[in-house]
């Protein structure tokens, strides 16, 4: 499990650890890891031109000590000091001893233009709000440069706790972060500014609490959660998932949701709705019912909404069922909020940013800019588990508090028509197989993302290709 902690938690853990190690030891560990990452990126250190952007806090101190290490290995290192009188004294002395130089911000453009590598030590976890004007002009200069950019701990200007970006921020190729990931490194839009992320162990692990702010499942975590049939299993014990989806206008949504559901671990898929012929033509193993959800026979979980059009009656019937329910697409619009809040069995809502915005009564951009806050807010309002889809997929558990899962497997190729229908079937099938809403949502997103990668392999794909690739993703996870 990859985990991320909020700044106040990181600060508390650092205080505990600092009390037990020699003064300055943590910064030296950070600087050593940072310098090593820079050396890896450069390939050869000797003769390279390195520019440090140095703010007034310890983030600048890290950059200066790392710069000193690179200077000792033969790099030409120049530090741009944003606040010369408040620069980290020990770091500055170390850089000077190693033969490094300093310039004022007015000299930044000339040195950055010629640099091979820029280290962004303007601000780290002590940052508040978007970059101030002097720092923002440096960010603009860096954006024009050909140099590789390494962010120290965080790209300056992004919000460490939320992943929000207010104003300008440094765009890095690599972020070297210390002790633990910060939520902003895993959630868009900030994640995009971070580039790839390398975690340097400074010994903080033992001081961090059990519950992080964010957690990203890895292969082993997913493998442990996947439902696997035992010797005594039959189709009913493995769980039956009901799919109430599709309409005369959108029969394809039903086919795709069933396609996802067949790959999600339930023992059988029951379909109700007007697209039964299309579903059976493609997937003859589906149990098709021409009754509404109430009369359709037992299921262990329902999926309602993909391509549902205006069928509010079906949505209401499904919400009244005392089994877990996944609500997607049109179902989100048609569901009565009080009916969702009043449910006793788990509910998993799977909106994309536009749908989440409509439910929250805000603009889509607001959700995209504040994904973590939006997912928690929806989960609190509806007392439902919320899987917010998009460039970063998040799953917040019912009520909105507690750890939020972030999915790291997605690919931009998944932004294709019908892809969400496959995910809803897949996650609904995992619900029917007995996973909690949080696990079904995050395992579903993980497999779906991986399947998208396998199916796409660098080229456009259709949603049916993604569904077909889920089995391969499943095998890859269990391997």
Residue 97 neighbours by CB under 8 Å, 6+ apart: 68
Nearest to 51 by CA among 81, 27, 31, 30: 81
Q: Is 58 one of the annotated binding-site residues?
A: yes
Nearest to 382 by CA among 405, 404, 401, 399: 399
Cβ atoms 149, 171 nearer than 8 A: yes
Nearer to K ion, 172 or 266 (CB): 172
Residue 318 neighbours by CB under 8 Å, 6+ apart: 242, 244, 293, 302, 304, 325, 331
Q: Interface with K ion by CB under 5 A: which range of 19-27, 152-160, 191-199, 258-266? A: 152-160
Determine whether 234 is exposed, middle or buried from the number of CB atoms within 10 Å of its CB (0-12, 13-18, 19+): exposed
Q: Is 418 one of the annotated binding-site residues?
A: no
Nearest to 349 by CA among 320, 327, 382: 327
Q: Interface with ligand NPW by CB under 6 A: which range of 68-76, 127-135, 322-330, 441-449? A: 127-135
Among 14, 58, 120, 221, binds K ion (CB under 5 A): 120
- Confirm or reject binding of residue 330 to K ion (CB under 5 A): no
Among 14, 207, 377, 421, binds ligand NPW (CB under 6 A): 14
Distance of CA 268 to the CA centre of its chain: 31
Picked from ligand NPW, K ion, none, the partner binding residue 303 (CB below 5 to 8 A depending on kind) is none
Among 128, 146, 475, 479, binds ligand NPW (CB under 6 A): 128
Nearer to ligand NPW, 132 or 219 (CB): 132
Q: Is 374 one of the annotated binding-site residues?
A: no
Peptide bond preceding 32: is omega within 30 degrees of 0, i.e. cis? no
How is the beta sheet containing 385-388 ordered, strand by strand? 2-4, 214-216, 404-407, 393-396, 385-388, 347-349, 325-327, 301-304, 240-244, 268-272, 287-289
Question: What residues from 20 to 59 belong to the interface with ligand NPW (CB under 6 A)?
Answer: 26-27, 30, 55-59
Report the residue number whose CB is nearest to K ion: 156
Least distance from C-beta 59 to K ion, angstroms?
5
Question: What residues from 54 to 73 belong to the interface with ligand NPW (CB under 6 A)?
Answer: 55-60, 62
Compute the distance between CA of residue 345 and CA of residue 468 in angstroms, rounded to an integer: 30
- Confirm or reject binding of residue 198 to ligand NPW (CB under 6 A): no
- Confirm or reject binding of residue 200 to ligand NPW (CB under 6 A): no
Start-to-end Cα distance in the chain:
17
Q: Interface with ligand NPW by CB under 6 A: which range of 121-129, 274-282, 349-357, 416-424? A: 121-129
Cβ atoms 76, 103 nearer than 8 A: no
Residues in the chain: 479
Nearer to ligand NPW, 4 or 244 (CB): 4
Binding site for K ion (CB under 5 A): 120, 124, 151-152, 156
Binding site for ligand NPW (CB under 6 A): 14, 18, 26-27, 30, 55-60, 62, 122-129, 131-132, 135, 152-153, 178, 202
Which residues carry a binding-site annotation for (6S)-NADPHX? 58-62, 124-130, 153, 253, 307, 352, 421
Which residues carry a binding-site annotation for AMP? 389-393, 420
């Amino acid at each position: 499990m990859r985990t991320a902690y909020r700044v106040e938690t990181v600060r508390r853990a650092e205080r505990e650890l600092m009390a037990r190690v020699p003064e300055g030891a943590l910064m030296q560990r950070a600087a050593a890891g940072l310098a090593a990452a820079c050396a890896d990126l450069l390939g050869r250190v000797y003769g390279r031109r390195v520019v440090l952007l140095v703010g007034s806090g310890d983030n600048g101190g890290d950059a200066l000590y790392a710069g000193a290490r690179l200077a000792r290995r033969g790099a030409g290192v120049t530090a741009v000091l944003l606040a010369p009188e408040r620069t980290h004294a020990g770091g500055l002395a170390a850089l000077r001893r190693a033969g490094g130089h300093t310039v004022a911000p007015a000299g930044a453009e000339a040195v950055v233009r010629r640099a091979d590598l820029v280290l962004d030590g303007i601000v780290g976890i002590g940052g508040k709000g978007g970059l101030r004007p002097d720092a923002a002009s440096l960010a603009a200069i860096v954006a024009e440069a050909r140099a590789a950019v390494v962010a120290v701990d965080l790209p300056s200007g992004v919000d460490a706790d939320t992943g929000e970006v207010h104003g300008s921020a440094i765009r890095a190729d690599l972020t070297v972060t210390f002790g633990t990931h910060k939520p902003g490194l895993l959630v868009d839009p900030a994640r995009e500014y971070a580039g790839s992320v390398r975690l340097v162990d400074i010994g903080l692990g033992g001081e961090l609490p059990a519950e992080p702010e964010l957690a990203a499942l890895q292969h082993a975590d997913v493998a442990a959660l996947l439902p696997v049939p035992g010797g005594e299993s039959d189709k009913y014990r493995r769980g039956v998932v009901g799919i109430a989806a599709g309409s005369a206008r959108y029969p394809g949504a039903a086919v795709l949701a069933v396609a996802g559901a067949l790959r999600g671990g339930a023992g059988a898929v029951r379909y109700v709705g007007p697209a039964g012929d299309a579903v059976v033509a493609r997937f003859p193993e589906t149990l098709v019912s021409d009754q509404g959800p109430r009369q359709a026979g037992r299921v262990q979980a329902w999926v309602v909404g993909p391509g549902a059009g205006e069928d509010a009656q079906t949505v209401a019937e499904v919400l009244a069922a005392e089994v877990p329910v996944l609500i997607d697409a049109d179902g989100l619009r048609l569901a009565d909020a009080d009916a969702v809040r009043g449910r006793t069995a788990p509910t998993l809502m799977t909106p994309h940013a536009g749908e989440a915005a409509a439910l929250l009564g805000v603009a889509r951009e607001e959700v995209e800019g504040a994904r973590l806050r939006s997912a928690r807010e929806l989960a609190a309002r509806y007392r439902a588990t919320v899987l917010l889809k998009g460039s970063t997929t998040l799953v917040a558990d019912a009520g909105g508090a507690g750890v939020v899962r972030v999915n790291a497997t997605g690919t931009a190729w998944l932004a294709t028509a019908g892809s969400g229908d496959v995910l809803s079937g897949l996650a609904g099938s995992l619900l029917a197989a007995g996973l909690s809403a949080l696990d079904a949502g995050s395992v579903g997103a993980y497999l779906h993302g991986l399947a998208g990668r396998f199916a796409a392999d660098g080229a456009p794909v259709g949603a049916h290709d993604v569904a077909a690739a889920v089995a391969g993703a499943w095998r890859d996870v269990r391997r």
